[in-house]
Amino acid sequence: MDWSSGESQQLRFTQLLKVVDWQSVPSLIDYGCGYGALARELIEGGRPFAYTGFDLAPSMIEAARSLIDDPRCRFTDSRDELGEADYTLASGIFNVRLQTDEASWKDYVLEVLDEMAARSRHGFAFNMLTRHADPPLMRPDLFYGDPAHYFRLCTERYARTVALLHDYELFEFTVLVRLGAPTKPLVR
């Protein structure tokens, strides 16, 4: 899946899962699940959960179904089968834009974030390559987002309780959005 290592994928999952409140049995949508690596991570973590993996590629869903046999996990390539969940997570789905122009890609990102928010009861999280990466390592087929822009977008569009994680050892950032924040003014 074009990740540099299993360790970097584990670190991404750790960041994304910070949005989840584990005090109950959370339901999760893995938006762009690929072959189900996050499901495997959840199974190995030993916490209770309900998981739906979604991917546009039927071959990825077939691979996930063949690799993971757990009653808490289901996989689909149909948006109609998704419904709602407590949390929606997306890892890496905004990185590879190929020949798509930047304005169109930003529109796509916003459409997906809107869908993630609409499907989530308590929160959602996503990661993205950062525009603060080392220029010699940046590739023209990849999208590098502005962390401040996506933090601001999420606070203005979805919720007041948003965290921006840009302090881990990868050239990317993670945004955690906790929905249902209080509507009264924040305490000063």
Q: What are the pLDDT tens digits along the chain (188 aa)?
A: 444 567 888 999 999 999 999 999 999 999 999 999 999 999 999 999 999 999 999 999 999 999 999 999 999 999 999 999 999 999 999 999 999 999 999 999 999 999 999 999 999 999 999 999 888 889 999 999 999 999 999 999 999 999 999 998 889 999 999 998 554 555 55
Quick one: three-class SS letters along the chain?
A: CCCCCHHHHHHHHHHHHHHCCCCCCCEEEEECCCCCHHHHHHHHHCCCCEEEEECCCHHHHHHHHHHCCCCCEEEECCHHHCCCEEEEEECCCCCECCCCCHHHHHHHHHHHHHHHHHHEEEEEEEEEEECCCCHHHCCCCECCECHHHHHHHHHHHCCCEEEEECCCCCCEEEEEEECCCCCCCCCC
pTM of the model: 0.91
Domain residue extents for the chain: 25-178
CATH superfamily of 25-178: Vaccinia Virus protein VP39 (3.40.50.150)
